[in-house]
Chain A
């Protein structure tokens, strides 16, 4: 463990480092990894992450998202350069398209849906003898090769002599210094402040905000959670769901709405767009998240998970916009029938 330790502090002092770290470092670090004493009110709040990371839920979310490979591909902001043209047979073209689809699949990977992280409150070591050793705190960063940002230990010796796990903002700054990433800025961009965020939301730049939030923040950062939830709420109220389809954020949006039991608008949008299988998946997701809801109980009696059955069950039990749902569903079914009729007539 702890192969190398570097110092980073407001003042660069190296002479007294040994003195300050005189306690057994290994003991400190191991205690951070095993114990990590967090604040206590976590127990009362339900943790969405285990449900979110469940394979069943992930499959449902991926299906709901849709996968239009052309929308996933771009256009990206790049220096313009000429296109290449090829003459391909059907087989060659299909093979190319399949390859491209596989290649870009990582673009729709859904960012984790987590609760906000908690502050570390309890100090690892209280050492009153060291109180007043300096006017500034010392930060110790583990820069071992191959360590990921989330695994990295960052400790802080405070001026009162306490050694504690560094607060999250200090840890992020240290990560930013020792492992800078493209798109992640050292200082939090101003656009995530409420007043500027509001402007962007009015301009419907949801995708831009969400992409940048993914770059800038960890998924359990309170800022990430605040920003994304704010955008999801705006999208839900403006019914702009289609802007997020075939992007990595649609799954998060659906999960957020299902988690808060407010899938009615999204469901209506899916029915209106004749995406009934998606609607069925959404209701299944809702049932997985809320096992004690009346819709889940209604569906538990049914063996097959046919989308129509799911929708009918949801309309019967938990729908908050029942009349609208029924009207749209009827219209779509009528349109389908008319289409089939036309087909048979032409044949």
Chain B
């Protein structure tokens, strides 16, 4: 009994932080029954510096950075100290034995207590077990898919809310989105390469009003705020055709970036470079096709070009006034009836009609007489290649089957798919 008592106390003290050689031999414990004294011999074979320095010194060696290093931006990703004894209580082991005189009172009244193991309170243990496993916070909380940007957890494409109010004016209905977010560097005498964050932000109310700005700051947050508020002070108003698309096809170039924009009917949606898509969202353009050519990765040029192109549009009213003629629209879904969209402001048109060959609205606004090449696509291509023809025939035999099945089910001629599945289940 006494043996286990003492040995345990020694091992206990090991746990408490006294440094022992890890290669302690269990034979080193010598027991003298007469004296009840334990002699312990240590084999002092030093393996590494780990045995020479204190825990504190060891930790500071791993976790600290020099002052000069701090200045140059080192030590940001340095590890923090860990409490290796977390969850352990002094004098309490796994089996929670009570050692009178050590972990509890030695006597009750005049009676000397013996070592004993108290009965465990199961409910308390379960409670403590629950406590012991704290829910680990996610380092990066999950972002809903619709709030994520273009790629991963990066800024471009994400919304950063409306611009800050200016005095009493609150930007109601506005939203801002990041188009570009990057690190830019310059050299200084003292610090060498110094980095800043550059952000390109577009803000708009989805109803024709929008602006963009680039801003740089030491922190990303500041750069975004600066760009957003600058964009709010550079708002432009764009007229849109029936609040859903542009007035006409156009091409616009900025530096080495060229955008070919096409007017599209309602229901088409925006099919364009992701940056143009974002801008359309904020301006309030719902239907458009854009082809970006040249340097498509220089976001600032794409943005500039698109804003410039929209600003240079000619509205139908301006066209009617310029030509002194009625602008008339023919839409297939409206049975191609003439729909007047603009009349000359003077109230009547000029007498002589425009010649059909001279007027092509689709190519009216391309500069220098250069129009985009439209490649001929054979509409009957699927019947000409053996592979596509085979695919067509394969699809063709399934045509309308789904709908016919649905109708048979509706009229009660055939059980529903759920019913069929249920019937196929084995009998129990």
- Residue ranges of A at the interface with B (Cβ–Cβ < 8 Å): 69-70, 73-78, 80-90, 92-93, 96-97, 100, 103-104, 187, 190
Known: A85-B327, A85-B330, A86-B338. 18 other contacts (CB 8 A): A73-B335, A74-B331, A75-B334, A76-B335, A78-B332, A80-B266, A81-B265, A84-B361, A85-B329, A85-B361, A87-B323, A87-B325, A88-B326, A93-B326, A93-B338, A100-B336, A100-B337, A103-B335
Residues on B with C-beta less than 8 A from A87 are 319-320, 323, 325-328, 354, 359
Residue among B326, B327, B330, B333 making CB contact with A90, cutoff 8 Å: B326
A83 lies within 8 A of B337 (CB): no
Residue among B319, B325, B332, B407 making CB contact with A88, cutoff 8 Å: B325
A86 lies within 8 A of B333 (CB): no
Considering the chains assembled together, what is the distance between the CA atoms of A38 and B340 in angstroms? 55
Nearest chain-B residue to A83 (Cβ)? B331
Q: B148 an interface residue at 8 Å Cβ cutoff?
A: no
B354-384 residues with Cβ-Cβ distance < 8 A to A are: 354, 359, 361
Residue among A69, A80, A89, A190 making CB contact with B267, cutoff 8 Å: A80
Residues on A with C-beta less than 8 A from B338 are 86, 88, 93, 96-97, 100
| B264, B329, B349: residue with the most chain A Cβ atoms closer than 10 Å | B349
Residues on B with C-beta less than 8 A from A82 are 263-265
Considering the chains assembled together, what is the distance between the CA atoms of A103 and B337 in angstroms? 9
Nearest chain-A residue to B354 (Cβ)? A87
Residue among B325, B329, B352 making CB contact with A83, cutoff 8 Å: B329
The 8 closest A-B CB pairs, nearest first, are A100-B337, A85-B361, A87-B325, A96-B338, A74-B334, A73-B335, A84-B330, A73-B337
B227-281 residues with Cβ-Cβ distance < 8 A to A are: 263-268
Residues on B with C-beta less than 8 A from A74 are 331, 333-335
- Residue ranges of B at the interface with A (Cβ–Cβ < 8 Å): 263-268, 319-320, 323, 325-341, 348-354, 359, 361, 407, 410-411
Considering the chains assembled together, what is the distance between the CA atoms of A76 and B335 in angstroms? 8
Assess A89 versus B353: contact at CB under 8 Å? Given A80-B265, A84-B330.
Answer: yes
Considering the chains assembled together, what is the distance between the CA atoms of A51 and B80 in angstroms? 97
The minimal Cβ–Cβ distance linking B148 to chain A, given in whole angstroms, is 30
Considering the chains assembled together, what is the distance between the CA atoms of A85 and B356 in angstroms? 11
Considering the chains assembled together, what is the distance between the CA atoms of A75 and B329 in angstroms? 14
Nearest chain-A residue to B289 (Cβ)? A82
The minimal Cβ–Cβ distance linking A73 to chain B, given in whole angstroms, is 4
A84 lies within 8 A of B325 (CB): no
A190 lies within 8 A of B353 (CB): no
A89 lies within 8 A of B325 (CB): yes
| B265, B326, B329: residue with the most chain A Cβ atoms closer than 10 Å | B326
Residues on A with C-beta less than 8 A from B354 are 87
A80 lies within 8 A of B268 (CB): yes
Residues on B with C-beta less than 8 A from A92 are 353
Residues on B with C-beta less than 8 A from A96 are 328, 338
Considering the chains assembled together, what is the distance between the CA atoms of A76 and B267 in angstroms? 13
Residue among A84, A89, A103 making CB contact with B329, cutoff 8 Å: A84
Considering the chains assembled together, what is the distance between the CA atoms of A81 and B354 in angstroms? 25
B353 lies within 8 A of A83 (CB): no
Nearest chain-A residue to B352 (Cβ)? A89
Nearest chain-B residue to A188 (Cβ)? B411
A83 lies within 8 A of B410 (CB): no
- Pairs across A and B, CB under 8 Å, 14 listed: A75-B334, A77-B333, A80-B268, A80-B333, A82-B264, A82-B265, A86-B338, A87-B319, A87-B328, A87-B359, A93-B328, A96-B338, A104-B335, A190-B410
Nearest chain-A residue to B319 (Cβ)? A87
The minimal Cβ–Cβ distance linking B77 to chain A, given in whole angstroms, is 53
Residue among A70, A88, A97 making CB contact with B353, cutoff 8 Å: A88
Residues on A with C-beta less than 8 A from B351 are 89
Residues on B with C-beta less than 8 A from A97 are 337-338
Residues on A with C-beta less than 8 A from B319 are 87
Nearest chain-B residue to A76 (Cβ)? B333
Considering the chains assembled together, what is the distance between the CA atoms of A83 and B330 in angstroms? 6
Residues on B with C-beta less than 8 A from A88 are 325-326, 328, 338, 349, 353
A90 lies within 8 A of B348 (CB): yes
A83 lies within 8 A of B326 (CB): no
Residues on A with C-beta less than 8 A from B263 are 82
Residues on B with C-beta less than 8 A from A103 are 335, 337
Residues on B with C-beta less than 8 A from A81 are 265, 332
| A83, A90, A93: residue with the most chain B Cβ atoms closer than 10 Å | A83
Considering the chains assembled together, what is the distance between the CA atoms of A140 and B328 in angstroms? 55
A93 lies within 8 A of B334 (CB): no
The minimal Cβ–Cβ distance linking A264 to chain B, given in whole angstroms, is 36
Residues on B with C-beta less than 8 A from A187 are 407, 411
Considering the chains assembled together, what is the distance between the CA atoms of A77 and B349 in angstroms? 34
The minimal Cβ–Cβ distance linking A216 to chain B, given in whole angstroms, is 14
Residue among B320, B333, B353, B359 making CB contact with A78, cutoff 8 Å: B333
Nearest chain-A residue to B341 (Cβ)? A85
